[in-house]
């Protein structure tokens, strides 16, 4: 039984699909609906000393808080409440850490579909999360 679901949300259409998938999963759980956590990651640029990092993090937090309002409305339509948070760091590392800290049973994220070269050079967030997460990981594809 799922008690806690973590949705990795970056504002992309794929992350909205992942969020909707988590809402659907919650309907399938008998008894109490699982807690749904939505986490977004603000990634400071590297090297961090070139720009004002605090301003970038504040801007990202403000951006995600606006998007979270829409997610809360979607959840409320289904009589569900969600918990949202913006964390700072590398996306895959922060998603895995959050899943561990909250003792999540499932992580849901969308696949962005980078090219093979981009994926090879930059790494894949979904691949890293699937490898290192302490729980089931569901990657929602189009």
Structural domains of the chain in order of their starting residue, each with its CATH number: 8-117+135-140 (3.40.50.620)
d(CA 10, CA 30): 29
Output the six-digit token pair for 67: 């998007």
Which of 23-32, 78-87, 96-105 bottoms out in mean pLDDT, i.e. has the lowest? 23-32
Q: Which of 54-58, 75-79, 120-124 has the highest mean pLDDT?
A: 75-79
* pLDDT for residue 141: 86
Rounded to an integer, the average pLDDT of 76-84 is: 93
Q: At what angle do helices 13-28 and 53-77 cross, to 10 degrees?
A: 40
Angle between helices 125-132 and 91-101 (to 10 degrees): 30
Between residues 94 and 118, which one has the greater pLDDT? 94
pLDDT at 28: 87
What is the band of 114 on the pLDDT scale with cuts at 50, 70, 90? low
pLDDT at 33 over 90: no
Tell which phi-psi region holds residue 137, choosing left (phi > 0), alpha (psi between -120 and 50) or beta: beta
C-alpha triplet 10, 119, 133: angle, nearest 5°: 60
Is residue 112 scored above 80 in pLDDT? Answer: no
Is the Cβ–Cβ distance between 124 and 23 less than 8 Å? no
Rounded distance between C-alpha atoms, residue 40 and residue 20, angstroms: 16
Q: Judge if pTM exceeds 0.85.
A: yes
Residue 62 has a pLDDT of 94
pLDDT higher than 60, residue 46: yes
């Amino acid at each position: 039984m799922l008690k806690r679901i973590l949705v990795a949300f970056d504002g992309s259409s794929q992350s909205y699909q992942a969020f909707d998938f988590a809402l659907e999963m919650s309907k399938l759980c008998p008894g109490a609906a699982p807690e749904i956590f939505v986490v977004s990651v603000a990634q400071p640029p590297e090297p961090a000393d070139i720009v004002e990092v605090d301003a970038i993090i504040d801007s990202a937090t403000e951006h995600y808080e606006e998007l979270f309002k829409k997610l809360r409305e979607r959840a409320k339509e289904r009589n569900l409440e969600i918990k949202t948070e913006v964390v700072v760091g590398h996306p895959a590392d922060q998603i895995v850490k959050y899943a561990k800290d909250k003792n999540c049973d499932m992580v849901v994220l969308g696949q962005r579909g980078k090219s093979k070269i981009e994926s090879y050079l930059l790494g894949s967030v979904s691949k890293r999360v699937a490898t290192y997460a302490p729980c089931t990981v569901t990657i929602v594809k189009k």
